[in-house]
Structure 1
Amino acid sequence: MAYLGRGWNAIAYSIGGVGILIGQLWLSGAPSTAAFGYLLIFAWHLIGLLHGYRTAKRMPAETMFPWYSRWYSLFLIFLVAPLALAMLLRSLLFQPFTIPASSMLPNLRSGDYMFAQKYVYGYSRYSFPYGLGPRHRIFGHGPERGDVVMFRQPTDPRIDFVKRVVGLPGDRIQMKSGILYLNGTAVEREPAGDLTYQSVTVHAFKETLPSGRSYMIVEQVDNSRGDNTREFTVPDGHYFVLGDNRDNSLDSRFDMGFVPDDNIYAKAAIVLFNSEDKSRQTSWIQ
């Protein structure tokens, strides 16, 4: 339609196509409606094709086309501009991620497709592609205890990780028999039943930080390798992170160590769907 000089029709088809695509993503979560979502996309394209063909047949040969119907204008409007906008949104506002493992179970599962907020902590080195962000954080503040954050691994900045911040600069962190100790005081933990995931049964607990912030964690036993540690003192400009799946997480208890402030670039916000579990519902990350 844009090529034929029908600008408003082109805008309507674009908006409709985006709306149908979003609807299809929601419908794909249920096998019974997934086929209907794909049928909607096919029907929308077919309607646009037939409409465009009929419009072209009825146009007089001497029609004067507007500026945006030129091939280079279409290239700019429908390819270059959307790509630039997508990169801008990804760098400044929201970034999508797919969770590859279960170290953050039960709050994040393998196959989860989620969005993280980039603007919450301002912008630092890894906020932009290829590490082109400012060397130190600007326009924001570091994470708070309990935040689920995205960061680059300190020992290998090419790798993205997602963990929960439990220790701020100056905090003393220790694990004793599976209990998290913060500055010498045990963090409250209440049993919350059992959970079976991928044929493995784990014990769920509700952990509550001194600030009153609560979230769910899981573990199998209270005497695994990471359940009894020395006391760590978090240095300035760094954070101590843990996985919510305490017996199946490589985090600050091990070789990863403390996470530099500049390596943290986003806060996990919402899970949209799971590519492996169609029953997984959209949920905010606690």
Structure 2
Amino acid sequence: MNFALILFLLTLATGVLWALDRWVASKRRPEGAPAPWWVEYGASFFPVILAVFVLRSFVVEPFKIPSGSMIPTLLVGDFILVDKFSYGIRLPLVNHVIIPVGEPRRGDVMVFRYPVDPSVDYIKRVVGLPGDYVEYLDKKLRINGVPVRYEPLPDYFHADRLYYSTRWREYLGERPHEILVDDIAPPFVTQRLEFPHADRCEYNRRGVRCSVPPGHYFVMGDNRDGSSDSRVWGFVPEENIVGRAFFIWLNFSDLSRIGRIQ
């Protein structure tokens, strides 16, 4: 379901009713006569729907985390807010930047339209910027030939499946974040899809090396062995970007989760 399109159509329909009632229908009705119910309700809803449309399109948008690919940063059931203007003011629906503001930074948690199916939104961490050379070999990152720094942390316990993952603090962007690695999982990509610019990636038994093309980003989940990401389906085009995830505003199972996203 394309909620943005539905919201746009509702805004358009109620706006037309509001305009017709204000400048046409109200002048033709006898003084004191009530407006038809469908005009009254449609016109009265217009300011509310317009406000929601503007806020959701240009300021902030809510999302719910459906999978565990970003554990331990984001858990299934987290409700998050996505900043819609940090990466540029975009036209609704077409997602074209009309006012450049900023660009994704390495380490950002980014929401984007899944390149394989743009009707689906995905969330991952930005690892490689346009022009970067990204290597993920033996479950360690190198960016432009420089190894990313890691610090060991206590193992992470998955309560839903009763097993442990190795946990690391990774220094990728301006602020460190935590990642998980399953030691028994192979370092190589077990299966991958065909994707644009696939010739820029080299796969071997140790992992993958990719040269990020202009206007694209290489993203990965923090749950490294439980994430389908750029290693599998390729790069994220700039036009697919939705925004930067920055805040967890609710989790019904654990209210202590509320706070900023690292």
Q: TM-score range by the shorter chain?
A: 0.7 to 0.9
In the other structure, the counterpart of 1:236 is 214
Distance apart, 1:264 and its partner CA: 0.9
2: CA distance, partners of 1:81 / 1:183 = 50
1:102 aligns with 2:68: yes
In the other structure, the counterpart of 2:180 is 218
1: CA distance, partners of 2:170 / 2:127 = 11
2: CA distance, partners of 1:67 / 1:100 = 50
1:268 aligns with 2:245: yes
Higher alpha-carbon deviation: 137-146 or 243-252: 137-146
Pairing 1:119-138 to 2, within 5 Å after superposition: 119-124=85-90, 128=92, 131-134=93-96, 136=97, 138=99
Distance apart, 1:225 and its partner CA: 3.4
TM-score (norm 2): 0.74
Distance apart, 1:109 and its partner CA: 0.6
Let me know the Cα RMSD of the aligned residues: 2.4
More helix by share: 1
1:88 aligns with 2:54: yes
Question: CA-to-partner distance for each residue in 1:28-50, whole Å, 9 max, x for gaps?
Answer: xxxxxxxxxxxxxxxxxxxxxxx
In the other structure, the counterpart of 2:170 is 207
More strand by share: 2
| Change in CA separation of 1:241 and 1:123 when aligned onto 2, cut-off 3 Å | same
CA contact (8 A) 1:137 1:262 kept: no
Match of 2:113 among 132, 136, 152: 152
Question: CA-to-partner distance for each residue in 1:121-140, whole Å, 9 max, x for gaps?
Answer: 1134xx62xx3332x56332
In the other structure, the counterpart of 2:13 is none
Distance apart, 1:247 and its partner CA: 0.4
2: CA distance, partners of 1:215 / 1:259 = 21
Could you say what secondary structure the match of 2:169 adopts? strand
In the other structure, the counterpart of 1:47 is none
| Change in CA separation of 1:120 and 1:67 when aligned onto 2, cut-off 3 Å | farther
1:282 aligns with 2:258: yes
Structure showing greater Rg: 1
Unaligned runs of 5+ in 1: 1-65
The residue type equivalent to 1:104 in the other structure is M
Question: CA-to-partner distance for each residue in 1:95-128, whole Å, 9 max, x for gaps?
Answer: 000000010001101111111000111134xx62
Pairing 1:52-71 to 2, within 5 Å after superposition: none
1: CA distance, partners of 2:46 / 2:257 = 34
Unaligned runs of 5+ in 2: 1-31, 190-204
Question: CA-to-partner distance for each residue in 1:18-77, whole Å, 9 max, x for gaps?
Answer: xxxxxxxxxxxxxxxxxxxxxxxxxxxxxxxxxxxxxxxxxxxxxxxx999996566534
The residue type equivalent to 1:214 in the other structure is P
In the other structure, the counterpart of 1:76 is 43
CA contact (8 A) 1:166 1:242 kept: yes
Could you say what secondary structure the match of 1:216 adopts? strand
1: CA distance, partners of 2:165 / 2:179 = 10
The residue type equivalent to 1:142 in the other structure is E
Distance apart, 1:283 and its partner CA: 1.4
2: CA distance, partners of 1:142 / 1:68 = 51
1: CA distance, partners of 2:47 / 2:243 = 25
Distance apart, 1:242 and its partner CA: 0.5
CA contact (8 A) 1:272 1:283 kept: yes
CA contact (8 A) 1:142 1:261 kept: no
